[in-house]
Structure 1
Amino acid sequence: MTTFDIIIAILLAVGAVRGFISGLIMQLTSLAALLLGIWVAIRFSDFTAMLLMEKAGLSGQYIPLVSFAITFVVVVIAVHFTGKLIDKFFNLTPLGMVNKILGLVFGVVKYAIILSVIIVFVEKSNERFNFYSEQTKNKSMLFKPLSKLAPGIYPYLHFESISEHLKAK
């Protein structure tokens, strides 16, 4: 086990602990809040901008940015509070421990995906900046599996359709 593996194992353990503490419902809620916040802000920030101009008398070049930010924050807060209510309900039932255990698993998977994305970027940069040797990479037990995780998931995320929608706006 290399130093790289130890660091990755510690980070995955942090993901497990944070996932266990917050539980699956809050883990999913935070992800849903982020994704839904972005989607709603893209789709409805024009409406928020119109309200800011009509009701608050605001105008200027920063209105689109401000309206996007306001829409995003409102959605994130609303989804977060909804998740908190659902989480409180689950914690009152025997499903509370199941929620915690599934949160642990989700936390590890989430951190593994994030680390995988970082590894892919570092791998691309390593050719130029030489962060680590080929020998270090080959000795690592976690490098290869993590370096394949994000690229393996990417085709299923359908970023092309999101990109096309943004271009259409």
Structure 2
Amino acid sequence: MNSLDIVILSVIGFFAVKGIFRGIIIEIFTLGSIVLGYLISIREMSLMADVLKHYLHIPDVLSNVLGFAVVFTITVFIFRWIGLSLKKFAKWSFLGWVDKSGGVIFGAFKGALIVSLFLLLESVLPPAEGLKRQESESMLFKPV
């Protein structure tokens, strides 16, 4: 086990521990709120931009940016509120341990995905001699 393995395990471990505290419900609703917030904002920003232009008398570019930001923020807020409500229900119905167990798994998966994306990005960049040696000696580089 070399320093690259330690970094990989540290990142995955950090996200797994974070998943314990947040639980799978919050983890999923946070990720879902960002994805859905983006998709809904792209679709509905022009409607919000028209409303903002009418009431604030601002330029088109600024109204589009603000329209996206407003719709995104509202969408994320609503989905996170739903997630928090479901988490409270899970805690109330004694399913908190399922929430936390799922959070560990989801958090570890999210950490592994982030490490994989970083290593994929690193593989496209010009090779650094020390890092290539670390990769060849690493036990976790190929599986992740």
Q: 2-side partners of 1:4 and 1:131: how far apart?
A: 14
Match of 1:14 in 2: 14
Q: Deviations over 1:23-50 (max 9, x none)?
A: 0000000010000000000100011111
Percent identity, please: 28
Structure 2 counterparts to residues 1-169 of structure 1, below 5 A: 1-127=1-127, 130=128, 132-146=130-144
CA deviation map 1:36-68 (0-9, x unaligned): 000000100011111112233333421111111
Could you tell me which residue of structure 2 aligns to residue 161 of structure 1?
A: none
Higher relative contact order (CA 8 A, sep 6+): 2
Contact in 1 for aligned 2:20/2:101 (Cα 8 Å): yes
* Misfit runs of 4+, over 4 Å: none
Distance in 2 between residues matched to 1:131 and 1:28, nearest whole Å: 39
**TM-score, L = length of structure 2:** 0.94
Deviations 1:50-93 (A, max 9, x none): 11122333334211111111111111111111110111110112
What RMSD over aligned residues (CA atoms) do the two structures have, in Å?
A: 1.4
Give ranges in structure 2 of 5+ residues lacking alignment.
none
Could you tell me which amino acid in structure 1 is paired with residue 57 of structure 2? G
**What is the total number of aligned residue pairs between the two structures?**
144
What CA distance in whole angstroms lies between the structure 1 residues aligned with 2:6 and 2:131? Answer: 17
Query: In the aligned structure 1, how far is the partner of 2:23 from the partner of 2:129?
Result: 36
Is the contact made by 2:53 and 2:60 (CA closer than 8 Å) also made in structure 1? no
Output the CA distance in 2 between the equivalents of 1:62 and 1:69. 11
CA distance in 2, matches of 1:61, 1:107: 38
Cα distance change of structure 1 residues 120 and 85 upon mapping to structure 2, 3 Å threshold: same
Tell me how far apart the structure 1 counterparts of residues 15 and 129 of structure 2 sit (CA, whole Å): 25
Q: Which amino acid aligns with 1:4?
A: L
TM-score between both structures, scaled by the size of structure 1: 0.80
- Cα deviation for residue 134 of structure 1 reads 3.1
Whole-angstrom CA distance in 1 between matches of 2:69 and 2:44: 11
Distance 1:131 1:55 in 2: 58
